[in-house]
């Protein structure tokens, strides 16, 4: 009885003086979870690429691909986090003479810490590339909104042979306007027309009367149309150009909105998947800890072995 009391007090003193965290088990579970997550993510990429087709109406749809990606991400978190939590709970140090509630809490904490370490390691390797892809998509969509007029500006500069620093070509052209425009090359005429269009679209989108008259003169000079017919053609072409620019801006805004919504939904479902992973890591760590405590240790009976030996002569 005294020997049992001495063992109890020794175990109590040891359990109260040592830390309740088994970092070796935590890092082992985290390494297993991170490695399995990497394998499953690569497998998901392979399955996704094999299901997508560059041809129209071929392969899985965008909606189906998004749903399958979310499901695969959740499955990856469940399997990888569950394995990491189980290993962390199974390999942790056994606590003797401790209440079951405290053991349950420590097992849960070990699984959660293993999930935290694995998540941080995975985030360090993956989040950088994912965020660059998402931000690149949003920036690409937003840049298209201003790219329509910019493209026309670049076309004007190339048509007129000017550089990007020539930002006042429209005003310079107005210095040499004449009621009877002199014959110029087609490239020079296109450059002048483009600069007028760009300047007008960047401002209020309405052709000034003097610009409309000058453009009609250039058109009449090259097409043998009357001034009135040339003005009607200028109005028609400018209306089509303005509609094309507005449609491009609208499409770019819609693309940017869609990219923002996709990024928001992706972040939301990643948050849900990570919560699922944290839960399964903690639960599996508790299960692994109970399996660890259920292990029966076999001890060899030295006395019984030696007593069976024949007596020495």
Residue 162, pLDDT score:
45
For residues 278 and 120, what is the distance between their CA atoms, to the nearest angstrom?
Answer: 13
Residue 215, pLDDT score:
82
* φ, ψ dihedrals at 52, nearest 5°: -90, 140
3-state secondary structure of 177: coil
For residues 41 and 186, what is the distance between their CA atoms, to the nearest angstrom?
Answer: 57
The DSSP secondary-structure symbol of 13 reads H
Token look-up 């007129």 returns 160
Residue 80, pLDDT score:
92
For residues 174 and 141, what is the distance between their CA atoms, to the nearest angstrom?
Answer: 35
Residue 101, pLDDT score:
80
Residue 149, pLDDT score:
47
Residue 163, pLDDT score:
42
For residues 294 and 288, what is the distance between their CA atoms, to the nearest angstrom?
Answer: 10
Which tokens hold the place of 236?
Answer: 């028609």
Segment-wise mean pLDDT, segments of 10 residues, the chain, 313 residues? 47 56 88 89 79 61 75 90 91 74 86 91 69 52 50 47 53 63 69 80 79 82 82 86 86 85 82 91 89 71 51 52
Residue 157, pLDDT score:
47
For residues 280 and 275, what is the distance between their CA atoms, to the nearest angstrom?
Answer: 9
Whether the pTM exceeds 0.85: the reply is no
Residue 159, pLDDT score:
43
For residues 31 and 205, what is the distance between their CA atoms, to the nearest angstrom?
Answer: 61
Are 137 and 255 within 8 A, CB to CB? no
Residue 167, pLDDT score:
60
Are 297 and 94 within 8 A, CB to CB? no
End-to-end CA distance of the chain: 38
Cross-strand partners of 52: 59
């Amino acid at each position: 009885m005294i020997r049992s009391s001495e063992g109890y007090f020794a175990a109590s003193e040891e359990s109260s003086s040592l830390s309740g965290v088994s970092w070796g088990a935590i890092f082992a579970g985290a390494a297993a979870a991170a490695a399995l997550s990497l394998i499953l993510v690569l497998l998901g990429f392979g399955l996704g690429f094999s299901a997508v087709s560059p041809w129209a109406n071929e392969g899985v749809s965008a909606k189906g691909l998004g749903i399958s990606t979310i499901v695969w991400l959740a499955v990856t978190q469940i399997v990888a986090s569950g394995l990491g939590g189980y290993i962390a709970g199974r390999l942790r140090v056994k606590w003797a003479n401790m209440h079951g509630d405290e053991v349950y809490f420590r097992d849960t904490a070990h699984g959660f810490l293993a999930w935290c370490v694995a998540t941080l390691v995975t985030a360090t390797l993956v989040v950088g590339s994912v965020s660059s892809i998402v931000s690149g998509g949003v920036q690409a969509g937003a840049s298209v909104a201003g790219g329509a007029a910019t493209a026309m500006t670049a076309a004007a500069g190339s048509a007129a042979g000017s550089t990007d620093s020539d930002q006042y070509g429209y005003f310079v052209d107005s210095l040499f306007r004449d009621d009877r425009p002199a014959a110029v090359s087609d490239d020079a005429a296109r450059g002048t027309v483009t600069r007028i269009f760009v300047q007008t679209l960047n401002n209020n989108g309405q052709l000034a009367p003097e610009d409309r008259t000058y453009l009609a003169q250039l058109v009449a000079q090259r097409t043998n149309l009357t001034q009135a017919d040339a003005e009607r053609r200028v109005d028609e072409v400018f209306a089509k150009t303005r509609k094309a620019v507005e449609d491009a801006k609208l499409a770019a805004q819609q693309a940017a909105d869609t990219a923002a919504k996709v990024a928001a939904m992706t972040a939301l479902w990643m948050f849900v998947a990570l919560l699922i992973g944290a839960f399964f890591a903690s639960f599996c760590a508790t299960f692994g800890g109970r399996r660890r405590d259920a292990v029966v240790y076999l001890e060899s009976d030295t006395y019984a072995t030696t007593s069976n030996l024949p007596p020495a002569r």
